[in-house]
């Protein structure tokens, strides 16, 4: 044990000496002018590099003392301070370059995100037992702070031409709490009420660390984000799963459900029918038929909705939501049929009344026209008879 401790101290000392030598090279080979600062403790103006050197030496000596006393909390604190000094000790140009190279841009949603720079920190005594424990704790903390995702988005899938997938960066938040039933062993209301989404996230993180490239894992993380309501993350996870297994019926159905809740009905129908086509023969397809029934119900095609829901009920008779959906569709279709019937009857009555009124107006107009014609005819005949009588009377007088 004394030999191991001595070896650890030698490693730490070597790291410290190497750092001091590097700092001397950087300060003597500076491309800028020296920065001066008032030191209130000494009461005089000194260079900024000199202050940093004293801080580094003090922090390094404290780290050595804490290692010798085997106080893990103090040594952790001093090592963190040493790492911070390493970052701040870089020249201005180097720090600017570090900011540029460690910043990632997202051109799709016009946002900027700063990546973690923990990988650039000084790894002090990583080969020692204390260094390994310190590194493992740092990595565990960084892993917990990162957002649970399925890795880098894939470049292409066979379903990227769908509008709902192409516009995945603009979708609103639409939580689906009922998806939690997929993760429950007992499908009851009590289990659903006691569902802990944080425990599910920890379990998925553990599974991701053990087997990061898994279609089933990507599918579960996508369903996790469906519960949260983040459509973009869920679609990206399903796309990553489909990039590995393009004919996975379960993933296709889950993606169809996401687009259905976002009201991309055509895309949802396409994906659900595709899922139905690739569904294995030995597995029931009641979920696909049930989803198609709900989509056609939202479309207003009640007859097709009832047909698909009845097929789902034949495959899974004990599922009550199917029966309820069928009753709702039949009630909606019946009420809408009554409304349409009333509208048609009212329209026909209005047409008949219009024809009757127009006919009566036409008859009255024709009668008036006949009456005027007969009056003109009688007047003409009277004038003609009067003219003939006048001529005869004149002849008699002669």
Q: Is the distance from CB of 244 to CB of 216 less than 8 angstroms?
A: no
d(CA 37, CA 89): 15
Q: Nearest 5°: CA angle at 369, between 363 and 371? A: 105
What DSSP designation does 214 have?
A: -
φ, ψ at 125 (rounded to 5°): 50, 50
**What is the third-level CATH fold of 147-267?**
1.25.40
Residue 121 pLDDT class (50, 70, 90 cuts): very low
234: tokens are 């869920």
284-361 has the same fold as 147-267: yes
d(CA 272, CA 290): 10
- Of the two residues 294 and 76, the one the predictor is more confident about is 294
The yes-or-no verdict on residue 268 having pLDDT over 90 is yes
Average pLDDT of every residue of the chain: 75
To 10 degrees, what angle do helices 249-261 and 265-278 make? 170
- Of the two residues 105 and 236, the one the predictor is more confident about is 236
pLDDT average, residue stretch 81-108: 49
Domain residue ranges in the chain: 147-267, 284-361
φ, ψ at 281 (rounded to 5°): -65, -30
- Of the two residues 160 and 46, the one the predictor is more confident about is 160
pLDDT average, residue stretch 372-383: 64
The yes-or-no verdict on residue 147 having pLDDT over 60 is yes
Residue 346 pLDDT class (50, 70, 90 cuts): confident
Output the pTM of the full model.
Answer: 0.56
**What is the third-level CATH fold of 284-361?**
1.25.40
Q: Is the distance from CB of 124 to CB of 115 less than 8 angstroms?
A: no
The pLDDT of residue 284: 93
The pLDDT of residue 369: 61
Residue 264 pLDDT class (50, 70, 90 cuts): very high
Query: Which residues make Cβ contacts (< 8 Å) with residue 322, sequence separation at least 6?
Result: 286, 290, 293, 309, 312, 313, 316
The yes-or-no verdict on residue 324 having pLDDT over 90 is yes
């Amino acid at each position: 044990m004394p030999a191991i401790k001595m070896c650890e101290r030698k490693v730490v000392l070597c790291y410290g000496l190497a750092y001091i030598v590097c700092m001397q090279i950087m300060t003597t080979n500076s491309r800028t002018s020296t920065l001066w600062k008032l030191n209130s403790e000494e009461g005089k103006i000194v260079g900024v590099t000199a202050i940093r050197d004293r801080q580094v030496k003090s922090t390094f000596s404290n780290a050595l003392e804490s290692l010798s006393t085997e106080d893990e909390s103090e040594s952790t604190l001093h090592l963190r301070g040493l790492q911070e000094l390493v970052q701040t000790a870089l020249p201005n140009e180097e720090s600017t370059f570090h900011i540029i190279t460690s910043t990632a841009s997202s051109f799709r949603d016009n946002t900027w995100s700063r990546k973690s720079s923990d990988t650039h920190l000084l790894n002090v005594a990583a080969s020692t037992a204390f260094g390994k424990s310190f590194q493992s704790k740092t990595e565990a903390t960084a892993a917990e702070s990162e957002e649970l995702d399925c890795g880098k988005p894939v470049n292409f899938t066979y379903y990227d031409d769908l509008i709902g997938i192409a516009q995945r960066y603009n979708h609103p938040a639409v939580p689906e709490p009922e998806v939690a039933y997929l993760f429950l062993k007992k499908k009851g209301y009590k289990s659903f009420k006691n569902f802990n989404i944080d425990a599910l996230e920890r379990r998925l993180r553990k599974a991701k660390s053990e087997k990061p490239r898994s279609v089933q894992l990507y599918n579960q993380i996508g369903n996790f984000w469906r519960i949260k309501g983040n459509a973009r993350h869920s679609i990206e996870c399903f796309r990553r799963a489909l990039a590995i297994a393009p004919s996975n019926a379960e993933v296709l159905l889950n993606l169809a459900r996401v687009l259905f809740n976002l009201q991309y009905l055509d895309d949802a129908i396409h994906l659900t029918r595709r899922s139905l086509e690739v569904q294995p023969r030995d597995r029931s397809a009641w979920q696909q038929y049930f989803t198609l029934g709900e989509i056609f119900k939202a479309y207003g095609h009640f007859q097709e909705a009832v047909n698909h829901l009845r097929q789902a009920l034949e495959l899974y008779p004990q599922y009550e939501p199917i029966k309820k959906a069928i009753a709702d569709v039949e009630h909606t279709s019946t009420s809408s049929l009554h409304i349409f019937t009333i509208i048609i009857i009212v329209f026909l009555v209005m047409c008949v009344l219009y024809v009757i009124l127009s006919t009566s107006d036409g008859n009255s107009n024709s009668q008036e026209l006949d009456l005027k014609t007969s009056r003109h005819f009688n007047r003409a005949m009277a004038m003609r008879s009067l003219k003939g009588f006048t001529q005869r009377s004149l002849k008699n007088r002669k």
